[in-house]
Amino acid sequence: MATMQTDHIALDYDLLFTMPFHFGTGLRAGLLDRTVVRDRNGVLYVPASTLKGVWREKCEQLERLYKPDNVDRVDTPHNLNKALWGLGGYVSMSTRIFGSPQYPGPIFFEDAYLTKDERDLLDKDLTKNSASDLQTSSYTQVHLERPARTSVQGALYTSEFGLRNFLFQGKIEGSLNCMPAPGFASPGPTCSLLLLLAGLHMIERLGGNKSTGKGACTFEIKKLALNNEAVETTQWQGWLEHLDALSKYDYTLQEEEA
C-alpha cells in the first residue's frame, strides 16, 4: 500500500471576468429583482462558497475521467445514496480536498476581492449607490416557456451584473493528506494537489446566467507554496502535463496516525 504525504499548501490566484457576472443575494432592491453580493463597503466580491462548489465539480469530473472504474466513489456529498462511501474508508481525491460529511475539508477557501488598483478606481467619496453604478449594469429579461417558445406571463425581471474586466484576487490555504503522485521526483505533488491544480484550470464560468454567456472568466495562479517553500511556475505547469498519474490513486488508503 502506498504511503501518505501531508503538505501544507498556499495558493494565490487572480480571477478576471471577461463577461458580466452575477453572484446573487436572493434579495430585491428598488427596481432590481436580482441583486449581486457586495461587502460592507458596497464593493463587489466573489463568494468563496460559489468558487469552491464549481472547483469541486471540475475536480470530480477529472477524477471520473482518470478513474472510470471507480465512478461510484466520486460524487457530491449531497448525494445521499453515496454519502456512506467514506465510512468504508474509500476516500476520493476530491473528498481529500473539499471534504464530506465523514471527512472534514482541510482547505480553507477565501472570498476573492477586487485588487487594490481596481478599488482605487472607485471614488472613495461616492455613496454606495453611486459606487454601485461604477461596478454594475442591469439587464431586463423575460422568462421563457421553452416547450411553447413563448414568454411566461408576469415573468419580466431585471437582474444586476458586475461589469466585465474586473480583476479579483483570492487565496486558498490548508493541508492535504494524500498519496504522492507516481512518477514525480521528490518533492512532488500528491494526487489531490495535482487534481486541485488541474480543476482550477478547467473553470471557465462562474455565477448565474452561464447559459447566456455570463460569468466567463480566466484564472492565473500567482503563487504556489508547499510547506512554506515557493514552487516555481514552470515546475507546477510541468506537473499538469502528467495528469495520467491520477489513474494510480488508491482508494483504500487510510489516514496515518498522528
The pLDDT assigned to 68 comes to: 85
Q: Which residues have CB under 8 Å from 229's CB, separation 6+?
A: 187
pLDDT-flagged residues of the chain (< 50):
125, 257-258
- Count of domains in the chain? 1
Decide if 129 is inside a domain.
no
Decide if 130 is inside a domain.
no
User: For residues 107 and 176, what is the distance between their CA atoms, to the nearest angstrom?
Assistant: 7
Q: Quick: pLDDT tens for 118-168.
A: 888 776 545 555 555 689 888 777 666 666 666 566 577 788 989 999 999
Bridge partners, residue 170, by sequence: 13
pTM to 2 decimals? 0.86
Decide if 46 is inside a domain.
yes
Decide if 157 is inside a domain.
no
The pLDDT assigned to 29 comes to: 75
Bridge partners, residue 162, by sequence: 21, 136
Q: Which amino acid is at 50?
A: T
Give CA torsion, residues 170, 58, 226, 113, to 10 deg: 0
Residue found by looking up cell 495558493 in the block: 11
Decide if 217 is inside a domain.
yes
H/E element, 245: none
**DSSP SS3 for 255:** coil
φ, ψ for residue 216 (rounded to 5)? -60, 135
CA distances 74 to 52, 92, 213, 247, 248, Å, are 16, 6, 29, 13, 15
Decide if 153 is inside a domain.
no
Decide if 82 is inside a domain.
yes
Assess contact for 193 and 224: CB atoms under 8 A: no
Q: Quick: pLDDT tens for 243-252.
A: 999 999 988 8
Decide if 141 is inside a domain.
no
Which residue segment(s) compose the domain that 242 sits in?
5-28+35-117+165-248
